[in-house]
Amino acid sequence: MAVTGVLRPGFIQIRVMDLGEGIVHYRDNLGLDLVSQDGEVAFLKAYDEFDRHSVVLRQADEAGLDVLGFKVLTEEALTVFAKRLKGIGVETAIVPAGAYPGVGRRVRFSIPTGHTIELYSEMELSGNGPQTKNPDIWRHEPRGMRISRFDHCAVLGVDIAASAEIFEKALDFVVTERATDPEGNAIAIFLTCSNKAHDIAFLTGPADAKLHHASFLVESWNDVGHACDLIAQRNISLDIGPTRHGITRGQTVYFFDPSGNRNECFAGGYQHYPDNPVREWTVDQMGKAIFYYEKEVHDRFTSVMT
């Protein structure tokens, strides 16, 4: 599948209530590299990412999600997407180049679920990214949970169908899986801009602008197990896992950062192609859809959000 237009989730900016604790968690537990710190904002990246950073931590009074950024192929594509957003009635704003270190101009907009989304095409390459000439599999031995990249994000809000529609109409995302209630209303929508099972997921929730989890890719089921070992050894707050999803087929463990933001280590998942039909789930099978082995969803997974 040729990936053009929107390439992938590029960065996530997360609010933490203690920046020092947040840096220790994402650097030492997940294994990200601390790229830089500017006052109350820190920038980090995973070992297998070429770009300067993929995780931004901001000191704040409450936890949650500030912004989710998607990288697009070119500056020309960025201009086209801005016009397409305006064409369907979505107001946009421009964040100038250099507002954050190493990042070009960004197109910012809000979606009906209250989340802030940004598109950008330019980010400096990391000086510590993957090798490109006679490359080893990694430049330095991975640490902690051995996160290879920021993978996707799941967000909660009331009108998830309207938010998903913006991603479909203006940004060329496609729906890979959907769960509906008996009246046919969407309660979960999974979309991709690539051939991954999902690049963003919208989940129905009682309030807007909420983060369900930020997900980080690890190589294998064995690495999910390794993450669980560290969660136990280091007394990291566990949500659930190791287990597997029915939706996406991904192997997973969920846990919390010190501020209460939910993290996920994710491996596997199927490949999606444009000619694939949408996979549909009914509400009576949501236990199996979310946790394939347990076939039930515990209260914390649906009630805890930031």
The whole-number pLDDT of residue 3 equals 75
Domain coordinates of the chain in residue numbers? 6-120, 149-303
Fold of 149-303: 2,3-Dihydroxybiphenyl 1,2-Dioxygenase; domain 1 (3.10.180)
User: What proportion of the chain, given as a percentage, has pLDDT over 90?
Assistant: 95
Residue 241 φ then ψ, to 5°? 130, 170
Instruction: Work out the pLDDT band at 20, boundaries 50, 70, 90.
Output: very high
Two structure tokens written together for 277: 């039909």
User: Which of 275, 303, 291 lies closest to 243 in space, CA to CA?
Assistant: 291
Q: What is the pLDDT of residues 216-272, one digit of tens each?
A: 999 999 999 999 999 999 999 999 999 999 999 999 999 999 999 999 999 999 999
> Which residue matches tokens 């920021």?
150
Q: What number is the average pLDDT over the span 60-79?
A: 98
- What pLDDT is recorded for position 299? 87
CA distance 27 to 122: 24
Domain 6-120 is found in CATH 3.40.50.720: no
Confidence band (pLDDT; 50, 70, 90) for 2? low
Q: Are 58 and 66 in contact (CB under 8 A)?
A: yes
Reported as a single tens digit per residue, the pLDDT across 131-172 is 999 999 999 999 999 999 999 999 999 999 999 999 999 999
Tokens describing residue 206: 């009682």
Cα–Cα distance measured from residue 76 to residue 155, given in angstroms and rounded to the nearest whole number:
28
Please check whether residue 211 is in contact with residue 156, taking contact to mean a CB–CB distance below 8 angstroms.
Answer: yes
Residue in the structure block whose two tokens are 């959000």: 305
Q: Do the two domains 6-120 and 149-303 of this chain adopt the same fold?
A: yes
Beta bridge partners of 213: 154
d(CA 28, CA 40): 19
How far is the C-alpha of 180 from the C-alpha of 177, rounded, in Å? 10
Report yes or no: 37 and 44 within 8 Å, Cβ to Cβ: no
Query: 18 pLDDT exceeds 60?
Result: yes
Would you say 201 and 146 are in contact if contact means Cβ atoms under 8 Å apart?
no
d(CA 6, CA 200): 12
What burial class does residue 1 get, using C-beta atoms within 10 Å of its C-beta: 0-12 exposed, 13-18 middle, 19+ buried? Answer: exposed
Residue 176: pLDDT over 80? yes
Residue 127's nearest CA partner among 219, 45, 7 is: 45
Active-site amino acid positions? 152, 198, 213, 245, 254, 264
Instruction: Please state, in angstroms and as integers, the Cα–Cα distance from residue 102 to each residue in 99, 121, 141, 256, following that order.
Output: 9, 11, 25, 29
CA distances to 58, 71, 249, 260 from 266, in Å: 24, 21, 10, 19
Mean of the per-residue pLDDT values of the chain: 96
Return the closest-CA partner of residue 224 out of 177, 269, 190, 286.
Answer: 269
Residue 294, Ramachandran bin (φ over 0: left; ψ between -120 and 50: alpha; else beta): alpha
Residue among 9, 44, 40 nearest 26 (CA)? 44
Q: E strands, 121-246, where? A: 149-157, 174-180, 186-192, 200-204, 210-217, 238-244
- pLDDT per residue as tens digits for the range 192-205: 999 999 999 999 99
* Residue 149, C-beta contacts closer than 8 angstroms, at least 6 positions apart: 46, 48, 49, 54, 216, 217
